[in-house]
Amino acid sequence: MKRPVIAIGLDAAEPALVEAWMEAGYLPNLCRLKARGSYCRVKNLDYYRAETPWTTFLTGCKPTRTGYWAPIQFHPDSYDAELVEAYDFKDYPPFYALGDEYRVAIFDMPHARLADNVNGLQILAWGAHSPQGPSTSSPGSLFNEIVKEYGPHPGLHNDHASCFDLEAQNRLEGILKTGIERRVKISHDLLAREDWDLFLTVFGETHAAGHFMWHLGQKNHPLYGTLGEGVDDKMLAVFQAVDQAVAEIVEKAPEDANILVFSAHGMDTNVMDLPSMFFLAEFLYRWNFPGKYGLAKSDMSKPVGSIVTRCKKKSWLWEVWSSRHDLNPLRRFLRRQAPYRVFKKLAPLFGGQDSGDLISPFELREQKYGLFFQAASWYQPSWHKMKAFALPSFSEGYIRINLKGREAQGIVEPSEYDRVCEEITQQLHQLKDARTGIAMVDKVIRTRQSPEDNSSTLPDADLVVIWQAHQATDAVESPTIGRIGPVPHFRSGSHRSEGFLIANGPEVEAGVELPVAHALDLTTTILEMMAAPIPDYFDGKSIFRTPVSQAGSSSSAK
């Protein structure tokens, strides 16, 4: 039977946390939906965890089919890493491009583009976290109409705050709550316009809260003891606002609608940002150039030192860039003590200019380079001279081999490819957390069976580094490359591969705990609930075709 579907995404909402908060009574509306419906966790890919989930959701396809692994593309002819944003959807359109028979309303879906063959309306990049595309709509006048009536989302491209700045965290909380309030009003407006076959919106506010507020409520982050203890749990406050917002949206849904509240991936303490964005790039620089240091050189014979709990320069970029290794003591002192604009003017007076091995984030920002904040990009001037280098990443560590015949100035012979991959892997397994001695690397994944494998569906990385998931790390060391750090933590939460689904509606059994599904199954399930055609190329299946364990009686209550 054809029934409307109201699908509400909670971007990067961690299932273990949501479950604990529901049990504790902090999220009563989600708890009520769960009790009156079915629930399961969903598992996503183990790597490219930050970059792929929404594209796989939109297309119903694995990255091995679409070839889309990240919004960053590496160009071997120029050694440029370019921000290309969302998938183009030419071969695999969004699942809601269903033609004339289905009326759909898409509001603030991240990583999407305006799609053809959509019978209804689309509003994109109103307030999504990292939307990976421009603010736009179809019909074209609709975006401005919505903003004029309800206001912009104050967090669009501005939903971030320093871990160390409580005042900035307070501002971010206010920004996210304002966005949530306006999202509800817009959703009510759109739901009142007509009875849609599908209404889809995604709360990006949960994503931003997880990234920047994790340490203020979760004891498993090293900054909790100094910055979070005794402070209101701002991430919980944001989730509670979302919990109320979900209830208000559901209240306006048609009586016969199926309600899906879901997350395609999760979040936990940040074990990825510094290892992937910073440590890996410096590790490979030192491995390629023995005896040379780029950033954060530290003496392994001395204690690690205390955890950084504030950025003296009030800028993570300058705090980290000021650790640039410099043989000139005067320039080194100036770099570490002076504001960047002062250093830039005075440094040439001390002679012995820095080598061109690294480029500063400030110079990249002046060049309007979109990835200027990614520390891996600072090593780009050296990539053509290195056997392997770290690519910019939003999650795991990505390593590119500088392969002769593939890269414009490749130096690794194809016959040496396996040996180089193996040597790097062995060296990485020697990398330890400098404070605890915990091995930093869980595993290293080879993405190609041979150096000649250049299928367009493969990721740019030859090696993917899966880091340990036990604790956030601010300093690493090994017998080969020495110690890197400590450096300030960046974001306090990073992605995990699990999400969840709460399903509620006339045909959904109550109190049912479903087996763990795959995130790809979410899209198939939505289409099945709509009685819409499911493309034969989809990689997922309906979650409700899986055997269930009955934990209660059937109910049609929302």
In this structure, is residue 554 part of a structural domain?
Answer: no
Last residue in a domain, options 471, 490, 509: 490
How far apart (Å, rounded) are the C-alpha atoms in residues 522 and 13?
A: 15
- Identify the CA nearest to 520 among candidates 92, 32, 33: 92
- Containing 21, the helix (H) or strand (E) segment is helix 15-23
In this structure, is residue 208 part of a structural domain?
Answer: yes
For position 185, what pLDDT does the model report? 98
Last residue in a domain, options 459, 490, 521: 490
- Identify the CA nearest to 526 among candidates 500, 499, 509, 544: 544
Q: Are residues 109 and 190 in the same domain?
A: yes
pLDDT tens, residue by residue, 492-526 = 999 999 999 999 999 899 999 999 999 999 999 99
pLDDT tens, residue by residue, 239-249 = 999 999 999 99
| Domain range for 314 | 273-490
* Phi, psi (rounded to 5 degrees) for 55: -70, -40
Please tell me the pTM assigned to this model. 0.94
Last residue in a domain, options 465, 490, 515: 490
pLDDT band at 556 (very low <50, low <70, confident <90, very high): very low
pLDDT band at 548 (very low <50, low <70, confident <90, very high): very low
Q: Are residues 79 and 139 in the same domain?
A: yes
Q: Are residues 277 and 265 in the same domain?
A: no
Question: Could you give the C-alpha distances from 446 to 122, 284, 295, 383, 404, in angstroms and in order?
Answer: 39, 17, 27, 20, 18
Q: Are residues 513 and 414 in the same domain?
A: no
- Identify the CA nearest to 43 among candidates 503, 365, 416, 522: 522
Please give the average per-residue pLDDT across 357-382, as a whole number.
94
Bridge-partner residues for 498, per DSSP? 43
Q: Are residues 364 and 327 in the same domain?
A: yes
For position 489, what pLDDT does the model report? 94
How far apart (Å, rounded) are the C-alpha atoms in residues 211 and 191?
A: 30
Beta strands in 270-424 (DSSP E): 297-298, 388-391, 397-401
In this structure, is residue 551 part of a structural domain?
Answer: no
pLDDT tens, residue by residue, 264-274 = 999 999 999 99
Q: Are residues 335 and 348 in the same domain?
A: yes
How far apart (Å, rounded) are the C-alpha atoms in residues 200 and 159?
A: 22
Q: Are residues 215 and 306 in the same domain?
A: no
* 398 token code pair: 């990505």
For position 348, what pLDDT does the model report? 73
Q: What is the mean pLDDT of the chain?
A: 93
How far apart (Å, rounded) are the C-alpha atoms in residues 241 and 244?
A: 5
Q: Are residues 361 and 308 in the same domain?
A: yes
Q: How far apart are the first and last CA of the chain?
A: 18
pLDDT over 90 for what percent of the chain?
85
For position 172, what pLDDT does the model report? 98
In this structure, is residue 555 part of a structural domain?
Answer: no
Of 100 and 549, more confident: 100
The b-or-e profile of 401-434 (16+ CB within 10 A means b, else e) is bbbbebbeebbbeeebbeebbeebbebbeebbbb
Q: Are residues 116 and 161 in the same domain?
A: yes
Q: Over 90: is that where the pLDDT of 480 sits?
A: yes
pLDDT tens, residue by residue, 154-187 = 999 999 999 999 999 999 999 999 999 999 999 9
Which DSSP letter does residue 71 get?
S
How far apart (Å, rounded) are the C-alpha atoms in residues 507 and 545?
A: 13
Q: How many Å separate Cα 252 from the centre of its chain?
A: 31
For position 550, what pLDDT does the model report? 33
For position 355, what pLDDT does the model report? 64
Q: Over 80: is that where the pLDDT of 327 sits?
A: no
Q: Are residues 466 and 509 in the same domain?
A: no
For position 89, what pLDDT does the model report? 98
Helix (H, G, I), strand (E, B) or coil at 143: helix
Q: Are residues 369 and 469 in the same domain?
A: yes
Any idea which of 135-144, 227-236, 398-407 has the lowest mean pLDDT? 227-236
For position 342, what pLDDT does the model report? 76
In this structure, is residue 141 part of a structural domain?
Answer: yes
In this structure, is residue 553 part of a structural domain?
Answer: no
Any idea which of 203-212, 233-242, 326-335, 529-538 has the lowest mean pLDDT? 326-335
Any idea which of 45-54, 74-83, 123-132, 201-210 has the lowest mean pLDDT? 45-54
- The answer to whether the beta carbons of residues 401 and 388 sit under 8 Å apart is yes
* 309 token code pair: 């709990």
In this structure, is residue 109 part of a structural domain?
Answer: yes
Any idea which of 129-133, 226-230, 389-393, 483-487 has the lowest mean pLDDT? 226-230
* 175 token code pair: 């920004």
In this structure, is residue 226 part of a structural domain?
Answer: yes
Angle between helices 166-193 and 205-213 (to 10 degrees): 170
Domain total for the chain?
A: 2
Q: Are residues 189 and 329 in the same domain?
A: no
**CATH number of the domain that residue 69 is part of:** 3.40.720.10
